[in-house]
Structures are given as C-alpha cells and as structure tokens.
Amino acid sequence: MLDATSSYNPMDLRIPVDDRTGQLIVPETPRRTDRRPANRYGNRPTMKDVAARAGVGLKTVSRVVNGEPGVTPETERRVQEAIDALGFRRNDSARVLRKGRTASIGLVLEDLADPFYGPLSRAVEEVARAHGALLINGSSAEDPDREQELVLALCARRVDGLVVIPAGDDHRYLEPELKAGVATVFVDRPAGRIDADVVLSDNFGGARDGVAHLIAHGHRRIGFIGDMPRIHTAAERLRGYRAAMADAGIPVADSWMSLGITDPGRVRRAAEEMLSGPEPVTAIFTGNNRVTVTVIRVLAEQSRRVALVGFDDIELADLLQPGVTVVAQDAAALGRTAAERLFAQLDGTLIKPERIELPTRLITRGSGELPPED
C-alpha cells in the first residue's frame, strides 16, 4: 500500500505478512495499476496503519476514533496507543466523501480588512463554531466575477452552506447549488434574480432618519456622498436621503449628490465641490464608513463648521472634535442573524426564503447637531 520507491519511512518497515493467514506475502505483484500520488511531504498514517499496529480490524479503529460504542476497554486502549504512537489524525476529506456533509460553511464578503466586515465575519464564525462547523472565507473585492469564482470554489468544496455579501447582481449561477441543497443566506445586500434568504440593515430608514436629523437642526442644503448606486445599500441610502428631503419639502439640487466609487480622491473632490460655489451645502450625509472618514478630513480643513452625519459607526468617532454623529448598523448582529438562519435552513426548519431587516441606530455625538452656518 505504501509506495516502495519512497526513501526511509519508518511506517513502511512493517514485515509484509498477511494478517489473516500469518503468511509472508509473496511478491506476486498482482498487476500494479496505480501509483500513490507523489507525496514529497511525507505520508500520514491511516486507520489501516493504526489497525495493523494495534492488531485489530479497520472498523474497530474507526469505532474508537468516533467514540462509537461496542469496543472493549482493552481493545480501545490498544487502539489509542497505536494512534498516539503513529500520530494518526483522521482524514476528514475521506470522511466527508463518505458522509456527504463537510461541517464547513463559506463566507464571501467584500474585504476582510474593512472594519465593518471584521465583526460580521467573527459573528458568523461564532455561530458556525457553536454548530461544529468551520468557516472558509474569501474576499470578492467588490468584483462580481471574483465573487462567482469564490462561491463556486466553495461549492466544489461542498460547503454545507454559504453566507454571501454579494458584489454582483445576478446570482442565477447559484441555482444548481440551491437545488442541490446548499443552504444560502445573503447579507447586507439582496441576491440578484434568484429567490434567497437575505438579512439586511434598514438602509433606507436609517438614511432617512439621519438626514431628517440634519433637517431638524435647521439644515436645508444637505449634501449626499455615497457609493455606486448599482450597490443595493448605496441605492437604498440614497433613496432614504431623497425621502427625507421630500418629506420636508426641500427640492434637491443635482450638485448636492455624488455617487460613485468611494476612493478618497473622488470623495474629497466631491465634498470640496459641494462646499464651494454660490450655494454651498451646510451639512453632508455620508453613505458609508470610508466616505465618512474622508469627509471628516475635508471638513477639518474648512474654515466654517459643516454638519455631518455618517452611515456606519467608526471607531473613535466620539473622541473627535466634534464627535461624529452616525447611523450605526450592527455588523455583528447581521452576521449572527444570517448564520443562524443558515443553520436553521440546514436543520430543515426553514422553508421559504425571507427578507429580514435589522434596525439602525442614530448615535448623536455633536457633528450632526451643528446648526447651519453660511
């Protein structure tokens, strides 16, 4: 069974004896058709090796390893001894192949380095851990192709379930997977063109409340800087902005809105533009944490005070001067809810896909309560 071409391998020094008859095994060579895959990293002992060493059958080892009943203490001891001596570790790949489930779930998000996704990912991990599953994750970098590539790679690994923060807007490629029973929950943004569970923050309501807060403090010329509207959250937050303005009867000038990728350069230019000109904005609502950080920098350079409310909380927001008022979403709750729903699907207690919306929370710290200043 072990490749005779390998160099010194302690595990290979067993005397070639037929363990039933006790006879030496004759070099009959019954037509070797296969070669062990070259393994320059050394071979690991298998249950068969353990069984041989302990002088028991293969299945008995399996029983001991899995804590199944029906093994005498004495036999168990012998097997355990062999396991320890050989450093045996069960090969879960083979186990998975046999059992059909992998006890692992996949998480596809945008960027693990983004402070918003860290706690989300951790929350998913904790739930997975409570259910005995491991977490495989990958970053899509906001690229739909990469998202698909990742998701399909995870499916090829036969993860039991998927938590996806989608980058793309067409997820029909997941249809065979769903049909095959891969539990799937989308988070933060809904799936595109398929019917699937989704857990969201109340982006619309949060943004509307945040903007209404500014309006309540006397602002009328309020800017909005957000992400590309093809991203669901960005579109919803923009909708919230528009709704708040409409509710207050304030017509919105096009020059007050900036939508696009949220790299610092563009955001900075956008902020500076809406702060200059004949009718500059007196307040800005920012569409996500990265935008907020950039705008804080821009505002710090301005001579006059400009009010600010940001979507997403940011660390140290309370220590800035003024403190940054934000619409906070609970990233951990998003992750936890999604993961719990995933395992509910796997338990079979869930039938119909649902859309769950978590509330946001307005945290006032000063920047959103500044009065308009012309």
Partner DNA sequence: TAGAGCCTGGACAACGTTGTCAGAGCAAGA
Partner DNA sequence: TCTTGCTCTGACAACGTTGTCCAGGCTCTA
Nearer Cβ to its own copies (350/362)? 350
Which pairing describes strands 325-328 and 361-363: parallel, antiparallel, or unpaired? antiparallel
User: Binding to DNA by residue 154, rule CB under 7 A?
Assistant: no
Which pairing describes strands 355-358 and 197-201: parallel, antiparallel, or unpaired? parallel
Which uninterrupted H or E stretch holds 208?
Answer: helix 203-216
Q: Which of 99, 193, 230, 361 binds DNA (CB under 7 A)?
A: 99
182 and 152 Cβ atoms separated by less than 8 Å: no
218 and 372 Cβ atoms separated by less than 8 Å: yes
* 66-85 residues near DNA, rule: CB under 7 A: 66, 69-72, 74-75
User: Binding to DNA by residue 104, rule CB under 7 A?
Assistant: no
Q: Which stretch binds DNA (CB under 7 A): 41-49, 180-188, 336-344, 357-365?
A: 41-49
**Residue 294 binds: one of DNA, its own copies, none (C-beta under 5 to 8 A by kind):** none
Q: Which of 46, 233, 289, 292 binds DNA (CB under 7 A)?
A: 46
User: Binding to DNA by residue 36, rule CB under 7 A?
Assistant: yes
Least distance (Å) between residue 352 CB and its own copies: 16
Determine the Cα–Cα distance for residues 239 and 30; give it in Å rounded to an integer: 73
**Residue 350 binds: one of its own copies, DNA, none (C-beta under 5 to 8 A by kind):** none
User: Binding to DNA by residue 34, rule CB under 7 A?
Assistant: yes
Helix and strand numbers (H, E) in the chain are: 12, 12
Nearer Cβ to DNA (44/304)? 44
Q: From 335, 338, 291, select the one nearest 312 (Cα to Cα).
A: 291
Q: From 153, 218, 233, select the one nearest 186 (Cα to Cα).
A: 233
Question: Which residues are CB-neighbours of 75 under 8 A, at least 6 positions away?
Answer: 54, 56, 60, 64
Determine the Cα–Cα distance for residues 216 and 277; give it in Å rounded to an integer: 24
Tokens standing for 269? 């230019």
E strands along the chain, which residues?
A: 104-109, 134-139, 161-164, 183-187, 197-201, 222-226, 257-259, 283-286, 307-311, 325-328, 355-358, 361-363
User: Binding to DNA by residue 35, rule CB under 7 A?
Assistant: yes
Least distance (Å) between residue 314 CB and its own copies: 7
The three-state DSSP-derived secondary structure of 12-51 is HCCCCECCCCCCECCCCCCCCCCCCCCCCCCCCCCHHHHH
Q: Which of 47, 167, 215, 238 binds DNA (CB under 7 A)?
A: 47
User: Binding to DNA by residue 33, rule CB under 7 A?
Assistant: yes
User: Binding to DNA by residue 17, rule CB under 7 A?
Assistant: no
Q: Which stretch binds DNA (CB under 7 A): 96-104, 220-228, 238-246, 344-352?
A: 96-104
238 and 244 Cβ atoms separated by less than 8 Å: no
Least distance (Å) between residue 103 CB and its own copies: 4
**Residue 303 binds: one of its own copies, DNA, none (C-beta under 5 to 8 A by kind):** none
# binding residues, DNA (CB under 7 A) = 43
Nearer Cβ to DNA (61/281)? 61
| Phi, then psi, of 198 in degrees rounded to 5 | -150, 140
Least distance (Å) between residue 1 CB and DNA: 4
Least distance (Å) between residue 160 CB and DNA: 15
**Residue ranges binding DNA (CB under 7 A):** 1, 12, 14, 19-20, 27, 29, 32-37, 43-44, 46-48, 51, 55-60, 62-63, 65-66, 69-72, 74-75, 88, 90-91, 94-95, 97-99
